[in-house]
């Protein structure tokens, strides 16, 4: 995953506030990115095989790893590109599949309940929690973080991601448009 990220960083256009899309020439996996009002948000597809392998290597059973791999999984990166601190709360973000109402991203707490019910070992649950994008965070200028987010969307249905952050006591919002899940064969 690190090599993919470095490749994409070098390939990114420098300007723009609309959703930009880049496909990795080696993997075919796609990244969507936007920059607006001091924030950069990026989603990069994670293939179902990558999700399965990642979690099985951390102690998930094949069935539990498959449960996560059925979701539409992305590496999510948020970067403060502005000059003031920004705060985000993932509970305020919504994804909107084409022709459907907005949905909240499943919280780490909800995943934890599911993993416990499926008998996932505590060490694997801890690894899962650490790999997910932080639920809340304050970013100083130049700060960034990354982690996985998952969306309950059929693989062939595009969706928009509406993200929200706070800066200087004001609420801001932005959108990544026409995001798509990685194909099963990616």
CATH architecture for the domain at 2-179: Sandwich (2.60)
pLDDT exceeds 50 at position 172? yes
Looking at every residue in the chain, the average pLDDT score rounds to: 90
Give the whole-number percent of the chain exceeding pLDDT 90.
85
What is the three-state SS of the chain?
CHHHHHHHHHHCCCCCCCCEEEECCCCCCEEEEEEECCEEEEEEECCHHHHHHHHHCCCCCHHHHHHHHCCEEEEEEEEECCCCCEEEEHHHCEEEECCCCCEECCCHHHHHHHHHHCCCCHHHHHHHHHHECCCEEEECCCCEEEEEEEECCCCCCCEEEEEEEEECCEEEEEEEEEECCCCCCC
Using pLDDT thresholds of 50, 70 and 90, give the confidence band for residue 170: very high
Q: What is the pLDDT at residue 80?
A: 97
pLDDT digits (tens, 9 = 90+) for 4-35: 333 333 333 333 458 899 999 999 999 999 99
Using pLDDT thresholds of 50, 70 and 90, give the confidence band for residue 3: very low
Q: What is the pLDDT at residue 17?
A: 52
């Amino acid at each position: 995953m690190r090599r993919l990220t470095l490749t994409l960083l070098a390939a990114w256009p420098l300007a723009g506030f609309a959703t930009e899309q880049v496909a990795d020439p080696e993997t075919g996996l796609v990244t969507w990115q936007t920059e607006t009002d001091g924030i950069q948000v990026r989603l990069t597809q994670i293939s179902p095989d990558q999700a399965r392998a990642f979690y099985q290597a951390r102690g998930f059973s094949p069935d539990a790893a498959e449960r996560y791999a059925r979701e539409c999984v992305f590496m999510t990166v948020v970067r403060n590109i502005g000059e003031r601190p920004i705060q985000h709360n993932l509970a305020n973000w919504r994804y909107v599949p084409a022709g459907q109402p907005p949905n909240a991203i499943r919280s780490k707490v909800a995943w934890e309940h599911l993993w416990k019910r499926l008998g996932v070992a505590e060490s694997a649950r801890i690894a899962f929690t650490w790999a997910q994008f932080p639920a809340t965070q304050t970013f100083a200028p130049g700060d960034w973080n990354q982690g996985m987010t998952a969306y309950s969307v059929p693989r062939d249905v595009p969706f928009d991601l509406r993200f929200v952050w706070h800066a200087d006591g004001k609420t801001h919002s932005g959108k990544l448009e026409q995001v798509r899940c990685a194909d099963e064969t990616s």
